[in-house]
Structure 1
Amino acid sequence: MELWIDYECPRCNITIQRNLRELAPEQNRQCPECNVRAVLTEEGLRGLERSLRDLPAS
């Protein structure tokens, strides 16, 4: 199962989904539209939390 986290561009207000497997510390998370640094929002973290809860128990 793939896990995604949403970032938001403070300039464009678009949501940018990133696969958790692709994230690394200090990795650039720029908006593809305006190149402003995207930010992790509280809603993005809530979405990740929901996805984690939906994972099947192993």
Structure 2
Amino acid sequence: GDSQMRFEIMFTFEHIINGLGSAGNNIHREIFKLAKTYICDRAMPVRSAAAMVLIIKIL
């Protein structure tokens, strides 16, 4: 249900960040805010995907 949708959103953001690189700096801030929220989600796949987004953002 909802956790699957949140997982898919984080998974998609991970690929968007990889594709845009530094060209997407203005949207990186919004993605970071959302990932910070999802890192505390009750579903482990959502937390894992949010962590991957944050890791990709740092690298």
TM normalised by structure 1 equals: 0.32
> Which is bigger in relative contact order (C-alpha 8 A, separation at least 6)?
2
Between structures 1 and 2, the one with greater strand share: 1
TM normalised by structure 2 equals: 0.32
